[in-house]
Amino acid sequence: MRIGVVVNPIAGMGGRVGLKGTDGKVAEARRRGAEPRAPERARRALTNLFERAPDTEMLVWDDPMGTSLVRDVGFDPDVLGAPTGEETNATDTLAAVQAFVEADADLVLFVGGDGTAADVADALEGTDVPMLGVPAGVKVYSSVFAVSPEDAAVIATTFERTEAREVMDIDEDEYRSGSVHPELRAVAHVPVAEDLQSSKQTSGGTVEALAAGVADDIRAGEGVTYVLGPGSTVGAVKAELAIDGSPLGVDVYRDGEVLVRDATTDQILDHLGEENVIVVTPIGGQGFIFGRGNPQLSPEVIRRCDVSVVASRSKLETIPVLRVDTDDPDLDEDLRGWTKVRVGRVERRMMKIE
């Protein structure tokens, strides 16, 4: 089997520092101290892939788009080209994928977010070559991604057929201002597998009673620091608390006061106290409570907090399980298992985290 690997080295850099994406914000992300996220997630996928199928023929584009990562795990790849400048861009991704197709790749394995997925899909248009994503971006709306880097390796080495799946993307400037309007960018061939995420979909149902119950508990939690995640359900809690929270960011709240609005990871850590609670809701129809849309909630933040999951009953009807993808496999394992999800003013439902 021949797999073409392309890594977007800047994917996800803006997440930890509160930029909600990296499109046009690379310099600002670096100024804020952001570190690359994609290379380590690529390494996790490639390490697993080498363990499962060390004889796989690997096609790569030169650094920083994947060559060293592929070599470091044990492969001897064919380098088909190189980026044109110091900063990689969509043109480099298109050139890499087109070269993979010309070299008869059986699969394009890419590491990035929705923007990278759209670029890969554009390059594959008119071909039957499937694509599979290792999620590394801040916003991951498309259904062409594996649930985790390790799952991507399993899928890449075991799939037997493909199916048409959606590539979605959003305008990051609108996203930063609180508006989310996913647009269909392409339909791509993707391996058929259980460990693929679905497209994010919205679900109906009121959350007023749920929000009121959570807000009552927060008001009663004297001295407790609450880290309020993004999403409409937690947004309803913020509205019930009568605070001007960030609709798509993370807010830090304690004793009737917003300590930080739209906080970065470092700001969250700076304001945590002795007792801390993260309030999160599953993202759309995918079921992720960590790892999609809330990278500010880093492993270090999560380890210092209790976790409260809230969701409407109608949302849970579309989600078979909850999922986590924190960039820390040990933490992911610690979080897995059964947990209580608050679905009403006092009602809770047991859900499994996988």
Does 348 reside within a domain?
yes
CB 80 within 8 Å of CB 101:
no
Of 191, 221, 240, which residue is a domain's last? Answer: 191
Kindly tell me if the per-residue pLDDT of 272 is higher than 90. Answer: yes
pLDDT for the residue 10: 81
Q: Of 4-8, 227-231, 341-345, which gets the smallest average pLDDT?
A: 341-345
The number of distinct structural domains making up the chain is: 2
**pLDDT band (50, 70, 90) for residue 33:** low
| 153 and 231 housed in the same domain | no
pLDDT higher than 70, residue 196: yes
Domain co-membership, 175 together with 236: no
Looking at the structure, tell me whether residues 185 and 212 fall in a common domain: no
Do 125 and 64 lie in a common domain? Answer: yes
Residue 349: which domain range? 208-353
pTM score over 0.85: no
Q: What is the pLDDT of residue 34?
A: 53
What does the alpha-carbon distance between residue 285 and residue 79 come to, in Å, rounded to a whole number? 38
pLDDT value of position 86 = 77
Which of the pair, 184 or 24, is modelled with greater confidence?
A: 184
Domain stop point among 158, 191, 224? 191
Read off the pLDDT of residues 122-179 as tens digits, 9 standing for 90 and up: 999 999 999 999 998 766 778 899 989 999 999 999 999 999 888 887 655 555 455 5
Q: Burial, 39: exposed, middle or buried (Cβ in 10 Å; 0-12, 13-18, 19+)?
A: buried
Q: Tell whether 104 is covered by a domain.
A: yes
Measured N-to-C along each axis, helices 38-52 and 149-158 cross at an angle, to the nearest 10 degrees, of 40
Q: What is the CATH number of the domain that holds 89?
A: 3.40.50.10330
Domain identity same for 8 and 59: yes
Same domain, 25 and 71: yes
Mean pLDDT of the chain: 87
Distance CA 302, CA 280 (A): 11
Clarify whether residues 273 and 324 are in a common domain.
yes
Within this chain, do residues 253 and 105 fall inside the same structural domain, yes or no? no
Q: What is the pLDDT of residue 202?
A: 38
CA distances from 111 to 122, 144, 266 (A): 16, 11, 25
What CA–CA distance (Å, rounded) separates 65 from 91? Answer: 12
pLDDT in tens, 212-231: 899 999 999 999 999 999 98
Helix, strand, or coil (residue 204): coil
Check whether 38 has a pLDDT greater than 80: yes
pLDDT band with cut points at 50, 70 and 90 for residue 319: confident
- Which range (50-54, 159-163, 311-315) has the least confidence? 311-315
Name the region of 88 (left: φ>0; alpha: ψ -120 to 50; beta: rest): beta
Q: Are 7 and 93 part of one and the same domain? A: yes
Give the distance, in angstroms, between the CA of residue 157 and the centroid of all CA atoms in the same chain: 22
Residues 125 and 219 in one domain: no
Same-domain check for residues 24 and 133:
yes
- On the question of pLDDT at 30 being above 50, the answer is yes
Ranking 78-82, 115-119, 158-162, 165-169 by mean pLDDT, the lowest is: 165-169
Q: Kindly state whether residue 200 falls inside one of the protein's structural domains.
A: no
Q: Please compute Rg for the chain using Cα positions.
A: 20
With a cut of 60, say whether residue 204 has pLDDT above it. Answer: no
Distances (CA, A) of 272 to 215, 278, 324: 19, 11, 22
∠ CA 28-32-34 to the nearest 5 degrees?
Answer: 95
Verify that 165 and 229 share a domain, yes or no.
Answer: no
Asked if the structure places residue 253 within a domain, the reply is: yes
Does any domain span residue 199? no
- Residue at 308 is within a domain: yes
Most confident range (mean pLDDT) of 27-36, 96-105, 132-141, 200-209 is 96-105
Report the C-alpha gap between 256 and 176 in whole angstroms.
25
Residue 183 scores a pLDDT above 80 = no
Name the more confident of 91 and 285.
Answer: 91
Identify any residues that bridge with 151 across adjacent strands, giving them in sequence order: none
